[in-house]
Amino acid sequence: MLSPMTRTGKTIAVAVVVIAAVAARWIYLARSSGAAPSTTAMVLGHFDHRPRHGGLVLMNGDTHFEVVREPDGGWRIYFSDAVRNPLPAAIASHASVTVPVPGGAVTEFPLTIDSSGNCWIGRTPLVVDPAAVVRVGYTAASDPYWIDMPISAWAATASAR
């Protein structure tokens, strides 16, 4: 005889079925010949984290940002909206990368908007310690945001080039 499912088990099972049904409906609407509702596009867009510039794609709310680490110490940050439409770099009023520098200090390096207005660019000393943590930050709509990432997070993006 089978033992009865616990209340927690039932709740989890129902949640999985509901999420699967909603996801299947969104995918169906997105692939159908008619125009998919904007909420469908937004939900599907949130799942699109493919790099467009060879970097690491991260999110803050409905804003995606792709952080590119160049082998020579260069950095670039590109912004896109919830469905990955490119946004001008000027949506942020400030951007920076903070890295450990020789001697053990951690230093913030401000970035500037490139001449095309598409991204923030700048340079830091090369980070060679694979255990080092890098802070990527920006301010948009007077709201500062930052995220700490291990430098090793960019290893896969470098090998993909």
pLDDT given at position 101: 87
**Structure token digits, residue 135:** 């802070």
Best CA proximity match to 123, nearest among 155, 75, 160: 75
Q: State yes or no: pLDDT of 20 exceeds 80.
A: no
The more confident residue out of 108 and 36 is 108
> Helix, strand, coil proportions of the chain in percent (round to 5)?
30, 35, 35
Residues with Cβ within 8 Å of residue 32, at least 6 apart in sequence:
none
pLDDT given at position 128: 86
DSSP 154: G
Q: Report the share of the chain in percent with pLDDT over 70.
A: 68
The more confident residue out of 130 and 4 is 130
**Structure token digits, residue 97:** 């990368």
Using alpha carbons, list the distances in angstroms from residue 84 to 39, 51, 126.
14, 10, 30
Residues with Cβ within 8 Å of residue 93, at least 6 apart in sequence:
139, 140, 142
> What is the residue extent of each domain of the chain?
7-44, 50-159
Q: Express each pLDDT in 94-151 by its tens digit.
A: 999 999 988 878 999 999 999 999 999 999 999 988 899 999 999 999 999 999 999 9
Backbone torsions φ then ψ of 75, nearest 5 degrees? -135, 145
Sign of CA dihedral 81, 84, 89, 93: positive
pLDDT class of 46 with cuts at 50, 70, 90: low
pLDDT given at position 33: 43
pLDDT given at position 36: 47
Cβ pair 73, 125 in contact under 8 A: yes
d(Cα 119, Cα 141) in Å, to the nearest integer?
Answer: 17
Average predicted confidence (pLDDT) for the chain:
81
Residues with Cβ within 8 Å of residue 150, at least 6 apart in sequence:
131, 132, 133, 134
**Structure token digits, residue 4:** 């009865």
Please tell me whether the overall predicted TM-score, pTM, comes out greater than 0.85 for this model: no
Options 2.60.40.10, 3.60.10.10, 2.30.40.10, 1.10.760.10; which CATH number does 50-159 get?
Answer: 2.60.40.10
